[in-house]
Amino acid sequence: MTFSRTLKSALFGLTVLGLAAPAMADQLSDIKAKGKIETATDMHYAPFDMLNNGTYEGMTKDLFDGVAKEIGVEPVYQDIPWTAELPGLEVKKFDIVIAPVTITPERLDRYAFTLPIADATVSLVRAANNDALKKPEDIKGKTVGVQQGTAQFRQLEAYGKELGGRECQGIRHHR
């Protein structure tokens, strides 16, 4: 596997419930009638989403404030752990997930996405003084950390299998 294939680019979009166009139009009418749109995001993903002394800030908030103003509703922002966002959307705990979400074929089957708002590159990061890891293949047999429920977790699992059939020694899941 080449280094460039390992560091695949992923597109981020904002998700909405995966419904047919007429159903989404009905959902928008319902949101306008309520006068508010309930959102979910993990507010710990700078520069997109972050809490600054308890105040929600970030690129996503700035963008979505404009969207809410354009459709004439008040945004209600909820800080939801990443692993609960898409399941919560499916059971209608909120109207939209505004967190950056990697667009995958599986997710496209279940959700409708906006146009991408960013291009994110997947990378492996090591401590500057760790000379044992110089290239992606060096993770073989090592413990690697990755955020739970992400597309990158699946990429890491698949890459581990490409390293001679042995996955990483351990994958630590993080919120």
Determine the pLDDT at residue 131.
Answer: 87
Please state, in angstroms and rounded to a whole number, the distance separating the CA atoms of residues 67 and 31.
Answer: 13
Collapse the DSSP code of 63 into the 3-class scheme (helix H, G, I; strand E, B; otherwise coil) and give the result: helix
Mean pLDDT of the chain: 78
Contact 117/78 with Cβ under 8 angstroms? no
Does residue 106 or residue 18 have the better pLDDT? Answer: 106
Mark whether 41 and 108 lie in a shared domain. yes
Mark whether 140 and 105 lie in a shared domain. no
Residue 57 CB burial class (10 angstroms; 0-12, 13-18, ≥19): middle
Mark whether 161 and 84 lie in a shared domain. no
pLDDT digits (tens, 9 = 90+) for 110-146: 888 888 877 766 777 888 898 888 888 888 877 778 7
- Strands 44-45 vs 49-52: parallel, antiparallel or unpaired: antiparallel
Mark whether 149 and 110 lie in a shared domain. no
Determine the pLDDT at residue 22.
Answer: 47
Query: What mean pLDDT do residues 95-119 have?
Result: 85
Range of the domain at 139: 124-174
Own/partner long-range contacts of 122-129 (Cβ < 8 Å, ≥24 apart): 122/6, 122/7, 122/8, 122/9, 122/10, 122/152, 122/155, 123/7, 124/6, 124/7
Contact 137/125 with Cβ under 8 angstroms? no
Determine the pLDDT at residue 153.
Answer: 76
Mark whether 100 and 30 lie in a shared domain. yes
Mark whether 105 and 131 lie in a shared domain. no
Determine the pLDDT at residue 165.
Answer: 55
2 has a pLDDT exceeding 80: no
Mark whether 95 and 135 lie in a shared domain. no
pLDDT digits (tens, 9 = 90+) for 136-174: 888 887 777 877 777 777 777 777 777 765 555 555 555
Which of 15-19, 32-36, 75-79, 99-103 bottoms out in mean pLDDT, i.e. has the lowest?
15-19
Residue 20 CB burial class (10 angstroms; 0-12, 13-18, ≥19): exposed
Instruction: Give how many domains the chain has, as a whole number.
Output: 2
Global pTM exceeds 0.85: no
Instruction: Give a yes or no: residue 4 inside a domain.
Output: no
